Structure 1
Amino acid sequence: MAKKISFIILSNSGTTIKQVAVPVVLIGVLAIGFLLGAVFFGIAIHDYQTLRQSVAYNRSMARTIQEQQQEIGQQRLQVQAFAHEINALKDHLVELDQFEEKIRVIANLDSDKGENSLFGVGGAAPDDLDPRLEISQRHEGLMREMHRQVDELNTVSQRQENRFGRLMDQLEGQRNLLASTPAIRPTSGWLTSRFGYRTSPFTGGKEFHKGVDIANRKGTEILATADGIVSFTGKKGAMGNVVVIDHGHGMVTRYAHLSEMLKKRGEAVKRGDVVARMGSSGRSTGPHLHYEVHLNGVPVNPTQYILN
């Protein structure tokens, strides 16, 4: 027979009211259940506290990461802006290099380049870096690339500065030649026909165009492109009204299809002087200037003699 434990319930007067017999096994089960409940409750409380701490930590970390990402994003934008500025400086150096070469062609000076190109082949551009890299690694890579390009720009600019210095020394000894060499646009307007072979606007056949055509309104000023002496003014067949300027050193410029000629034969002119006005005299499809440059009697491409 199972053992039991009796519980006697007494009144205040000591009289027995009720007697309850509880099996020992049940008491053990209840005790174990109580202990297990207490353990599970303790675990639940611990897990709850741990979860609260984890949530708070995760929120803090999320804010920190977001702030870091925003900061790195701003740094990345700054680096990219810096990269664009570097590219703009590179383009400007290339333009200066081309300008120097044009001056050397005009002044009949040899090239002073010691290298085939201004810039070497660079590494990855900021937008080309592998997005799978860690943000810090990508940023470090960007900064290394920027420093490399800045060092390259410093080297190239110093090299170009030295070349310009030598060029100025050479030009100083050829001042008269340069003043007599065409170097500016003869008029404002739009280039409508280039130097070289073209389809004739009148016959439709192939012909060699000895100069360039620049179109604008009738009466637009025509400028002498270099110092010289007017050697001819008058009509020349299909060219209409023409002004020819002899600049010496085998250099001659011709201005055709004029509406008005403002200089006389034998008159000295300076670069930039107004020598005529644009028109459509002779065989012409509309108001424009036909401009030629001749070197030792041979027509050459006038665009090689326009620096502005």
Structure 2
Amino acid sequence: MSDPITLMILSPYGAPVKQIMLSKKIFWFTGFLFIAVLTGLGFGAYDYYQLRQTAFDTRELEGTITSHQEIVLIQRRQIQKFAGEINLLKSKLMALNGFEKQIRVIANLDHPDAQNGLFGVGGSIPEDLDPKLSLKEKHNSLIREMHGQIDQLEQASENQEAYFETLLKELDGQKTLLACTPAIRPTKGVITSAFGSRNSPFTNLKEFHKGLDIAARKGTPVYVTANGKVTFAGVKGAFGKLIVVDHGHGLVTRYAHLSKILKKTGDRVKRSEKIGLMGNTGRSTGPHLHYEVRLNGMPVNPKKYILN
């Protein structure tokens, strides 16, 4: 049996020395166990530190990912809003384009051929994109789409502006034409003789009546039926006191048998302006207005030019 190992424990206060007798096996086993425990504690502490560091890194990474996800979500919502606004503007432009076409139809104006291709219909928003694309590819695709639609809207707005400018000019021309086109009754009263073939009130023979006879009391106001210029105001044979108004565009109106002329040659007149009073001058059987409309020198039915 091997010699035991003696451990002496000294007291700092002068107490007797304590001795502990251990066999070598127990001593070495205890030492090995102590070293093993220390080693285990060291590895445990290292693993714990690594786990804590990994957990910290994981939380930090999760925070970064969450932050990026929030940024991406905000950008996505902004892009969705932007895309929606672009499509709304496009819809409004298309509505304006349709409104312009309706005006042209009503005003009987030609349509510019280029209007049919104002811009393509529809537009992508984020939900329309291929879900297989990466986030970066989606972002780049959306940016390209946005720029493309912005360019398209700019071109469309320029086109629509040009169309409206053209339309305004054409409508202005139409407005002038409409203002110079006879459109109202020249006086109150009863139509006693229509335009066309009739028996003459003087000879009872067939003749072509070139105007419209409207009978009422002497002195009933007579109104010009469209904007124009007085080219004659005076007495002319069987017409008696006569006013002739040139409306331009080949249109001329005549107002005969007046009792009084209120305008003179060269005067500018506007529709519904009083130009004379009904009478019985010239070759006439009673107080009435003989009203004529001539287009390019040819008598036409005045009823076609009475809208009220």
Given the two structures, how large is their TM-score scaled by the length of structure 1?
Answer: 0.50
- For 2:93, the equivalent position in structure 1 comes to 93
**Relative to 1, partners in 2 of residues 1:152 and 1:16: Cα closer, same or farther, differing over 3 Å?**
closer
CA deviation vs aligned residue, 1:118-147 (integer Å, no higher than 9, x gap): 322666322223456544443343333222
1:40 to partner: Cα distance = 2.0
- Partners of 1:118 and 1:156 within 8 A in 2: yes
Aligned equivalents of 2:136, 2:108: Cα separation in 1 = 53
Q: Which amino acid aligns with 1:154?
A: E
Aligned equivalents of 1:62, 1:117: Cα separation in 2 = 50
Q: Does 2:179 match 1:228?
A: no
- For 1:120, the equivalent position in structure 2 comes to 120
Aligned equivalents of 1:133, 1:51: Cα separation in 2 = 36
CA deviation vs aligned residue, 1:200-224 (integer Å, no higher than 9, x gap): xxxxxxxxxxxxxxxxxxxxxxxxx
- For 1:217, the equivalent position in structure 2 comes to none
**Relative to 1, partners in 2 of residues 1:52 and 1:90: Cα closer, same or farther, differing over 3 Å?**
same
State how 1:268-283 maps to structure 2 within 5 Å. Answer: none
- Partners of 1:9 and 1:16 within 8 A in 2: yes
- Three-state SS of the structure 2 residue aligned to 1:7 is strand
1:150 to partner: Cα distance = 0.9
- For 2:6, the equivalent position in structure 1 comes to 7
CA deviation vs aligned residue, 1:8-50 (integer Å, no higher than 9, x gap): 65899999986734134x4444333333322221121112222
Q: Percent sequence identity over matched residues?
A: 37
The unaligned stretches of length 5 or more in structure 1 are 182-226, 234-245, 250-267, 270-295, 298-308
Aligned equivalents of 1:180, 1:127: Cα separation in 2 = 57
- For 1:32, the equivalent position in structure 2 comes to 32
1:6 to partner: Cα distance = 2.8
- Partners of 1:4 and 1:21 within 8 A in 2: no
Aligned equivalents of 1:169, 1:15: Cα separation in 2 = 127
State how 1:1-308 maps to structure 2 within 5 Å. Answer: 3-7=2-6, 20-24=21-25, 26-114=26-114, 116-120=116-120, 124-131=124-131, 133-177=133-177, 228-229=183-184
Q: Which amino acid aligns with 1:7?
A: T
**Relative to 1, partners in 2 of residues 1:133 and 1:46: Cα closer, same or farther, differing over 3 Å?**
farther
The unaligned stretches of length 5 or more in structure 2 are 190-224, 227-248, 250-270, 273-302
1:93 to partner: Cα distance = 0.8
Bigger CA drift: 50-59 or 87-96? 50-59
Bigger CA drift: 148-157 or 113-122? 113-122
Aligned equivalents of 1:77, 1:19: Cα separation in 2 = 80
- Partners of 2:9 and 2:18 within 8 A in 1: yes
- Partners of 1:8 and 1:20 within 8 A in 2: yes
1:97 to partner: Cα distance = 1.0
**What is the number of residues matched between the two proteins?**
196
- Three-state SS of the structure 1 residue aligned to 2:23 is strand
- Three-state SS of the structure 1 residue aligned to 2:184 is strand
- Three-state SS of the structure 2 residue aligned to 1:20 is strand
- Three-state SS of the structure 1 residue aligned to 2:21 is strand
- For 2:255, the equivalent position in structure 1 comes to none
CA deviation vs aligned residue, 1:259-283 (integer Å, no higher than 9, x gap): xxxxxxxxx77xxxxxxxxxxxxxx
CA deviation vs aligned residue, 1:61-108 (integer Å, no higher than 9, x gap): 333332332233222222222222111111111111112212222232
- How big is the alpha-carbon RMSD for the aligned residues of Structure 1 and Structure 2? 4.1
Aligned equivalents of 2:9, 2:78: Cα separation in 1 = 88
Aligned equivalents of 2:28, 2:22: Cα separation in 1 = 14
Given the two structures, how large is their TM-score scaled by the length of structure 2?
Answer: 0.50
Q: Which amino acid aligns with 1:75?
A: Q
